Amino acid sequence: QVQLVESGGGLVQAGGSLRLSCAASGRPFSLYTLGWFRQAPGKEREFVAAITSNVGSAKYADSVKGRFTISRDNAKNTVYLQMDSLKPEDTAVYYCAAVRTSKFTTLYDYWGQGTQVTVSS
């Protein structure tokens, strides 16, 4: 069983930055592929970024490519999402997710409770 707790959300002006963190319990954290998703009001949840368990390969949605960076610190059981050049359309609840695999996948077994990110224009 893995528990995920997100933090770092908040209110920021357009063009600003935020860094989300997701702390995980359960071992071994290093064997889990981790993802970030978001859900805006009235919209479906969408993929944002993911990082694999072994070599730490990263993958991004086109809408955030070049602005967001996903990283992980296996010693701290934490995955991060650095968000730069934020836009109002990035406003959403952000969730982290985990699955025990070495590959990118669309199926995740564990989810956090979410953290709100609001970008004002």
Taking only the tens of pLDDT, the chain with its 121 residues reads 899 999 999 999 999 999 999 999 977 899 999 999 999 999 999 999 999 997 889 999 999 999 999 999 999 999 999 999 999 999 999 999 999 999 999 999 999 999 999 999 9
Q: How far apart, in whole angstroms, are the C-alpha atoms of residue 31 and residue 50?
A: 14
Cβ atoms 36, 70 nearer than 8 A:
yes
Q: Give the dihedral of Cα atoms 114, 59, 77, 15; nearest 10 deg.
A: -60
pLDDT, position 69: 98
**Can you give the pLDDT at residue 105?**
92
pLDDT of residue 52: 96
As a whole number of angstroms, the distance between CA 54 and CA 17 comes to 28
